[in-house]
Amino acid sequence: MSLLVKGLRRGIASTALLGLMAGFSPALAESTIVMGVEADFSRMDPAAARTWNTFKVIRHVYETFVEEDLTKGGDAVPEIVPALAESWDISEDRKTYTFHLRKGVKFHDGSDWNADAAKFNLDRMTNPDFEYFVPASPGLMGWVWGDLESYAVVDPYTFTITLTQPNAEFLRRLTAGGSGSPRMVSPTAVATFGNDGIEQNPIGTGPFKFVERVPGERVTIAKNPDYWNPERIPKTDRIILRAMPEVSTRELAIMSGEVDIIGTPSPDSIAMLEAQGLQLITGPSPMIYVMWFNTKDGIFKDVRVRKAACMAINREEMALYQRMGYAQPTWGVLNPGGPGYDPEFRDCDYDPEGAKALLAEAGYPDGLDTRMDWTFGGGADVNTKGDAEWLQRDWAKVGIRAKIEMFDNNAFWDMMSAGMRDGTGITSASWGESTFSWLDQVLPTTVMPPNCCNSGYYDNPEMDRLLSEARAAGSEEEMVVKLQEARDIVAEDMAFSSYFATNSVYVAVPGIKDFRLAPQHWFDLTSIVKE
Amino acid sequence: MQILQFTFMRMLSAIPVLIGVTIIVFLAVQLVPGDIALSILGRMASQEQLQALREQMGLDRSLVVQYGIWFTALLQGDIGTSLSQQLPVAGILGPKIVNSLILMAGSLVIVLVFGFLLAVLSGAKFRSMTDRVVVVITLVLASLPAFWLGIIMLYFFGFKWKLFPISGMYNVASPGGFWDLIHHLILPAAVTAAGSVAVVARVTRSRMIDVMAQPYILAGKARGLKRSQLVLRHAVRNTLPTFASIGGLQIGYLFGGVIFTEIIFNWPGIGLQVYDAILQRDIPMIQGCVLVVAVVFVIGNLLSDIAVYALDPKKG
């Protein structure tokens, strides 16, 4: 008996000692930052990866022809800068892009980046007959490859992509992600590990190399010291991104110092977190809370009711008190950080008395009863139920008595694909991008149920025409004119509105420096350091 | 020899239960509303793309055929491929099961030790002061929801007094081995154990009270045995089957309970995994997780039955 105890004790002591040694030696040698993110990651294959959270990781591992420069932060729309293409030419008819590829760039496995690698990746994303085709890719990436006509290798360092129609946002869309991302994986790695093997061996050209993934726990990335752009060689050796879906766990973890930085605390906790001596890092985000009105609903088919609902919301107060100032009021369907956004635009003014009068005119002098279908959201959404209750109260004041029904995010989007339910007047979710690709998914008649997400049955062919013209626009100015025209028609019909755009909010321990936020759903981790 | 036979018979009878479990797991996931193809391709996919994927995955075939395919693969150890990560479910779940078992084992130790001590303390002297205190403590423990208790414990022990780390199994930046694990284990194990400690203590206490009223205890008293001898050698011995049986039942409950604790404490076990899987609607992953929990439940019951049989002083 005592022998057993002794043996156990020795065993425990030696494991502990080993653990200590294993634990301390690398910690001394290299700098590590631990980040608590809002959800577990999706796939690591860029051709099939979902969610903005996942793109936060993979945009550092893989690259594409061009990149959005997020290293500077600030409010301005990030500049498009060269990445795997040194430069590019756009043809006279604006349909053909000729990329002059950067020479001497190597994937993390040592293989070369060149036009053949570009073709391999385009085949992988778009050509169903290709050996390494990713079947999920076309469904996920219509927003970037929807207008693709052809692509070709001109010479080892020249690659062309031809579109069926001009797309003013094509370069910016190339830099984006969240529903697939058009980024380049090493063809050698795909051939070696197979299509699914990329999940455990994500090999790109980016400033960070993938180290390991423990599903449900963390992803670790490490500095790529041989990165082609000396300005973007990471300042920190190792970054561990921990999935922490429970917001109170994230907050306690940053307070106890277990993680160095967290994303999206609850707005109600921010003052308390700052009181602990933690630093608050906020930046603009293209995320907007959009409202769909059900234009088929017996009550809400009357535009006067929809306008009254818009007029009943005190957006300034809501942003200030419900979101504690970490949101800005918005009107209409264009989002801050996206093309054509105008902070002065109003689709309605706050006017509860006017709203009551409109309702009376529409035949509801004693008010009306309806339902709000709401989602708990995912990723960077917090306390959406609180938002719903705030709106419910504002609406009740003018006589719109709404019942709230909360859905988990998956069930919510299934419902949106099926179309808003009978008896549901209003629904809402966060969306918005730095491109207007998301409007293609919300406004046109082609995405009415059973497609997603013109879920309130807004039947206006003008939207199809204007969005198509905005894509084909010859200049950004022309594109903006078309988008604003669409915005004004939507406001006139009051088919959609919005109430606020949230900021990106991060909380970090005092030692964290140079974590910069640009108006985007993701960020650049090459500059962040811990002192 | 007898016990081997008993074990064998008991294991045979577990087989139909396990098959039933696979059917329920398969059907339960079918009942969840929503479209698997849509959750893979996302909301931007067209109807044709969705239909093509459904055909490719066999989702358009009859339930019986789908179950047959799934069950055959299951027998070969293939639980499926995670939709959200495109990795084999079995490979992801393996380490998670170990992590959950560590948490469960930690909780079970707490449940057995404290449940038993409280039961003996209180049951040995019915209606004494100690007995009353234990009754109140267990009532409180049994009434606390794990989610609430977890957050409260986190706040005081983890944040306010900084006695224990707040999340995970190891210090992620520099993992520290066995003691680091124990340090991380104590809070979540205590939270998971709370309810079960109360159940075990209450049930074992009742049995203890019964036993203390038995004629052979009275006879022992009459023969002048010391009280401690009576309690520890005679009474406790006879409560062991009850204790083992109720303690064994807790294995399943604890494994179910760890789901909540793991989310609060970010413990990387099967509970956190099933939570992530539900959020991402990763059907094969959900099936795998539920199946594993069910199997652990069945095995836990099996073990406790065997222990009850072995501990029963009256057998054969």
pLDDT digits (tens, 9 = 90+) for A147-170: 899 999 999 999 999 999 999 899
List alpha helices for A169-245, DSSP H: 170-174, 187-193
Hey, are the CB atoms on B175 and A27 less than 8 Å from each other?
no
Element (H, E) at A88: strand A85-90
| Burial class of A313 by CB neighbour count within 10 A (0 to 12, 13 to 18, 19+) | buried
Cα separation, A454 vs A435, in Å, equals: 18
The backbone torsions φ and ψ at residue B239, rounded to the nearest 5 degrees and listed phi first, read -90, -10
pLDDT digits (tens, 9 = 90+) for A316-352: 999 999 999 999 999 999 999 999 999 999 999 999 9
Interface test with B, best of A21, A134, A244, A249 (most B CBs within 10 A): A249
Q: Token pair for residue A321?
A: 């008190």
- Per-residue pLDDT, A81: 97
CB-based contacts of B41, cutoff 8 Å, min separation 6: A136, A139, A140, B49, B50, B53
pLDDT at A21 exceeding the cut of 60 = no
Q: Within an 8 Å CB–CB cutoff, is residue A276 touching chain B?
A: no
Hey, are the CB atoms on B85 and A215 less than 8 Å from each other?
yes
* pLDDT greater at residue A88 or residue A139: A88
- Closest C-alpha to B283, from B98, B13, B124, B54: B54
Q: Token pair for residue A463?
A: 């939207």
Coil, helix or strand for A108?
coil
Yes or no: say if A79 and A69 are a contact pair by the CB < 8 Å rule. Answer: yes
* Ranges A201-205, A359-363, B201-205, B235-239: which has the least confidence: B235-239
- Per-residue pLDDT, A89: 97
Cα separation, A31 vs B297, in Å, equals: 43
Residue A320 per-residue DSSP state: I
Calculated CA dihedral for residues B299, B305, B307, B312, nearest 10 degrees? 180
Which of B34, B174, B179 lies nearest to residue A27, judging by beta carbons? Answer: B174
Yes or no: say if B87 and B81 are a contact pair by the CB < 8 Å rule. Answer: yes
CA distances from B160 to A254, A378, B155, B156, B170 (A): 13, 30, 6, 5, 20
The backbone torsions φ and ψ at residue A100, rounded to the nearest 5 degrees and listed phi first, read -95, 110
Which of B172, B179, B278 lies nearest to residue A34, judging by beta carbons? Answer: B172
Which chain A residues have a beta carbon less than 8 Å from that of B38?
413-414, 417
CB-based contacts of A478, cutoff 8 Å, min separation 6: A168
Residue B185 per-residue DSSP state: H
Q: What is the mean pLDDT of residues A221-226?
A: 97
CA of residue B231 relative to chain centroid, distance: 31
pLDDT digits (tens, 9 = 90+) for B1-38: 588 888 888 888 888 988 998 998 888 877 766 677 77
CA of residue A436 relative to chain centroid, distance: 13
Q: Within an 8 Å CB–CB cutoff, is residue A258 touching chain B?
A: yes
pTM for the model stands at 0.84
Q: Token pair for residue B253?
A: 């409950």
| Burial class of A376 by CB neighbour count within 10 A (0 to 12, 13 to 18, 19+) | middle
Hey, are the CB atoms on B165 and A256 less than 8 Å from each other?
yes
CB-based contacts of B149, cutoff 8 Å, min separation 6: B191, B194
Hey, are the CB atoms on B273 and A258 less than 8 Å from each other?
no
Distance, in angstroms, between A110 CA and closest chain B CA? 25
Hey, are the CB atoms on B38 and A414 less than 8 Å from each other?
yes
CA of residue A265 relative to chain centroid, distance: 17
Which chain B residues have a beta carbon less than 8 Å from that of A418?
none
Yes or no: say if A444 and A464 are a contact pair by the CB < 8 Å rule. Answer: yes
Yes or no: say if A289 and A502 are a contact pair by the CB < 8 Å rule. Answer: yes
pLDDT digits (tens, 9 = 90+) for A377-388: 887 888 899 999
- Per-residue pLDDT, B43: 73
* Ranges A196-210, A224-238, A376-390: which has the least confidence: A376-390
Which chain B residues have a beta carbon less than 8 Å from that of A413?
38, 43
| Total Cβ atoms within 10 A of residue A180 | 30
Question: For chain A, what is the mean pLDDT?
Answer: 91
List alpha helices for A399-501, DSSP H: 409-418, 461-471, 476-493
Yes or no: say if A321 and A364 are a contact pair by the CB < 8 Å rule. Answer: no
pLDDT category of residue B248 using cuts at 50, 70 and 90: confident
CB-based contacts of A20, cutoff 8 Å, min separation 6: B176, B177
Q: Could you tell me the sign of the dihedral formed by the alpha carbons of A185, A190, A192, A196, in that order? A: positive
pLDDT at A439 exceeding the cut of 70 = yes
Residue % of chain A over a pLDDT of 90: 79
Cα separation, A439 vs A469, in Å, equals: 13
Hey, are the CB atoms on B273 and A216 less than 8 Å from each other?
yes
CB-based contacts of A21, cutoff 8 Å, min separation 6: none
Q: For strands A496-502 and A327-329, give the pairing.
A: antiparallel
- Chain A 305-364, CB below 8 Å of chain B: which residues? none
- Per-residue pLDDT, A5: 39
According to DSSP, the residues that pair with A222 across neighbouring strands are A209, A238
Q: Token pair for residue A517?
A: 């936020």
- Per-residue pLDDT, B315: 63
* Ranges A64-73, A116-125, A452-461, B285-294: which has the least confidence: B285-294
- How many A-B residue pairs are in contact by the CB < 8 A criterion? 178
For residue A46, give the chain B residue with the closest CA.
B85
Element (H, E) at A54: helix A52-61
Helices and strands: H and E segment counts in chain A? 16, 21
Q: Within an 8 Å CB–CB cutoff, is residue A81 touching chain B?
A: no
Q: Within an 8 Å CB–CB cutoff, is residue A450 touching chain B?
A: yes
Hey, are the CB atoms on B86 and A48 less than 8 Å from each other?
yes
* pLDDT greater at residue B162 or residue A265: A265
Cα separation, A431 vs A330, in Å, equals: 13
Cα separation, B288 vs B23, in Å, equals: 13
Q: Token pair for residue A287?
A: 């995320």
CA distances from B172 to A151, A350, A380, B26, B180 (A): 44, 49, 23, 36, 11
Distance, in angstroms, between A24 CA and closest chain B CA? 6
Yes or no: say if A517 and A281 are a contact pair by the CB < 8 Å rule. Answer: yes
- Closest C-alpha to A239, from A263, A218, A254: A218
pLDDT at A19 exceeding the cut of 80 = no
Q: What is the mean pLDDT of residues A264-273?
A: 93
- Per-residue pLDDT, A12: 42
Q: What is the mean pLDDT of residues A40-50?
A: 91
- Closest C-alpha to A276, from A259, A250, A241, A252: A252
For residue A450, give the chain B residue with the closest CA.
B47
Q: Within an 8 Å CB–CB cutoff, is residue A429 touching chain B?
A: no
Q: What is the mean pLDDT of residues B121-125?
A: 87
- Per-residue pLDDT, A124: 97
For residue A28, give the chain B residue with the closest CA.
B174
Half-sphere exposure of A165 (CA within 13 A, CB side): 9
CA distances from B223 to A492, B217, B229, B230, B233 (A): 98, 10, 12, 11, 15
Residue % of chain B over a pLDDT of 70: 97
- Per-residue pLDDT, A26: 45
According to DSSP, the residues that pair with A80 across neighbouring strands are A68
Distance, in angstroms, between B10 CA and closest chain A CA? 32
Peptide bond between residue A310 and the one before it cis (omega within 30 degrees of 0): no
Which chain B residues have a beta carbon less than 8 Å from that of A32?
173-174
Hey, are the CB atoms on B168 and A258 less than 8 Å from each other?
yes
Hey, are the CB atoms on A246 and B264 less than 8 Å from each other?
yes
Q: Within an 8 Å CB–CB cutoff, is residue A414 touching chain B?
A: yes
Q: Within an 8 Å CB–CB cutoff, is residue A229 touching chain B?
A: no
Distance, in angstroms, between A458 CA and closest chain B CA? 18
* Ranges A327-331, A394-398, B26-30, B109-113: which has the least confidence: B26-30
Hey, are the CB atoms on A142 and B95 less than 8 Å from each other?
no
CB-based contacts of A332, cutoff 8 Å, min separation 6: A345, A346, A347, A487, A490, A491, A496, A497, A498
Residue % of chain A over a pLDDT of 70: 95
- Per-residue pLDDT, A29: 65
Interface test with A, best of B93, B152, B174 (most A CBs within 10 A): B174
Distance, in angstroms, between B268 CA and closest chain A CA? 6
Coil, helix or strand for A236?
coil
Cα separation, B292 vs A274, in Å, equals: 42
pLDDT category of residue B292 using cuts at 50, 70 and 90: confident
Hey, are the CB atoms on A258 and B171 less than 8 Å from each other?
yes
Coil, helix or strand for A219?
strand
Cα separation, A384 vs A428, in Å, equals: 9
Q: Token pair for residue B14?
A: 């577990």
* Ranges A396-405, B44-53, B94-103, B193-202: which has the least confidence: B44-53
